[in-house]
Amino acid sequence: MQFGIIGSGSWATAIAKILTDNGHSINWWVRKEETINSIKKRKHNPHYLSTAYFDLGLIKLSSSLEEVAANSNTVVIALPSAYVHDALSKVPATIFENKRIISAVKGILPHSNQLVQEYLAMHFKVKPENYFTVLGPCHAEEVAAEKLSYLTFSGNNLQRTQLIADSFKSEFINTITNTDLLGAQYAAVLKNIYALGAGIAHGLDYGDNFLSVFIANAAKEMNGFLKIASPNAEEDYASSVYLGDLLVTCYSLYSRNRTFGNMIGKGYSVKTAQLELNMVAEGYNASKCIHLTNKTIHANIPIADAIFSILWEQIPAAEGFKTIETLLR
């Protein structure tokens, strides 16, 4: 496979490391020429995971998204969900024709309230059999440090999905496959909302006991949503891409969503927290997207609704969590 990567943030950089460490050559779209020049000179991304060094002989860098796609048969989209539309809005509708697309996006596109597969099918005619996802639990920082991590690849066809997963498997990356495209994507969206809530709870000075009960109830709520959103799935929601990703995102100090929520709990405004974090916390937009999506799915998600109210309806965090306290069992 000839891989292309769209994005140059921490997760895109981690994926570039995984693939090149495995000897795969990649075409890598990096938006800014100055970043490209820095990578060429210093052999690492100056802005993200700067401890990860690359064999430049395996990398062709370009600021032209069309060039990267044209020279690749398997394209990994590794952008924050809020940036996907802007990045792809000016390229031809045929850019992904007959190509495999791997989404590493952990959110719903906020401009259209669509999953990436829905957006690509509508605007680029990407066929279901050519669409795959790669999701956690996995932190880019731990990939850079070569700590054992697990990635789950989802696709409609297990054999084709396994071929992609095998390209990523290494001494420090274990891979899992399933066919639950919808469930895996919605789980990646929901876990960010609940992790943001876990951060708010920490910022409000709730203890470990409350946090464990909060996460247990969030897992149950997420499972209920997934059973309605992906009714034909036969997956175990206690497995790594569901419960595992929820746990690590809620607890880890690497979690942007937990960090963002912690600031909200301590009294920061959303705007101030965004400036302080200086990275995208997917749970913020995700909370609104899931709130809107649930108008058609009709799942019972009162915890996610309470977090939405704190972030988007200016309900004080302490007041919102008093409501959450009454929901936990």
Task: Tell me whether residue 184 is in a domain.
Answer: no
- 204 and 320 in one domain? yes
Residue 234: what pLDDT? 81
Distance, in Å, from the CA atom of 100 to the CA atom of 238, rounded to the nearest integer, reads 29
Helix (H, G, I), strand (E, B) or coil at 73: coil
How many domains would you assign to the chain? 2
The residue ranking higher by pLDDT, 278 or 86, is 86
Task: Tell me whether residue 241 is in a domain.
Answer: yes
Task: Tell me whether residue 252 is in a domain.
Answer: yes
- 313 and 169 in one domain? no
pLDDT in tens, 47-66: 999 999 999 999 999 999 99
90 Cβ contact list (under 8 Å, min separation 6): none
- 126 and 61 in one domain? yes
- 148 and 294 in one domain? no
Show which of 145, 179, 213 is a domain's final residue.
179
Torsion of CA 239, 241, 244, 249, to 10 degrees: -160
What average pLDDT does the segment 73-93 reach?
Answer: 96
Task: Tell me whether residue 239 is in a domain.
Answer: yes
- 64 and 116 in one domain? yes
Task: Tell me whether residue 271 is in a domain.
Answer: yes
The 3 state secondary structure assigned to the chain is CCEEEECCCHHHHHHHHHHHHCCCCEEEECCCHHHHHHHHHHCECCCCCCCCECCHHHEEEECCHHHHHHCCCEEEECCCHHHHHHHHCCCCCCCCCCCEEEECCCCCECCCCECHHHHHHHHHCCCHHHEEEEECCCCHHHHHCCCCEEEEEEECCHHHHHHHHHHHCCCCEEEEEECCHHHHHHHHHHHHHHHHHHHHHHHCCCCHHHHHHHHHHHHHHHHHHHHHHCCCCCCCCCCHHHHHHHHHHHHCCCCHHHHHHHHHHCCCCHHHHHHHHCCCCHHHHHHHHHHHHHHHHCCCCHHHHHHHHHHHCCCCHHHHHHHHHHHCC
Q: 258, 202 in Cβ contact below 8 A?
A: yes
What average pLDDT does the segment 273-292 reach?
Answer: 91
CATH code for the domain of 292 = 1.10.1040.10
Show which of 179, 214, 239 is a domain's final residue.
179
- 304 and 260 in one domain? yes
Residue type, 33: E
- 69 and 41 in one domain? yes
Domain span including residue 146: 3-179
pLDDT in tens, 151-202: 999 999 999 999 999 999 999 999 999 999 999 999 999 999 999 999 999 9
- 152 and 12 in one domain? yes
Residue type, 261: G
pLDDT in tens, 230-255: 998 888 898 899 999 999 999 998 99
Chain-wide mean pLDDT for the chain?
96
Task: Tell me whether residue 38 is in a domain.
Answer: yes
**Of the candidates 151, 26, 139, which has an alpha carbon nearest to the alpha carbon of residue 76?**
26
- 207 and 123 in one domain? no
- 140 and 234 in one domain? no
Q: pTM (2 decimals)?
A: 0.94
Show which of 147, 179, 211 is a domain's final residue.
179
Helix (H, G, I), strand (E, B) or coil at 205: coil
Residue 278: what pLDDT? 80
Residue 47: what pLDDT? 94
- 134 and 205 in one domain? no
Distance, in Å, from the CA atom of 212 to the CA atom of 232, rounded to the nearest integer, reads 30
Torsion of CA 48, 49, 55, 59, to 10 degrees: -30
Residue 233: what pLDDT? 84
- 195 and 174 in one domain? no
CATH code for the domain of 39 = 3.40.50.720
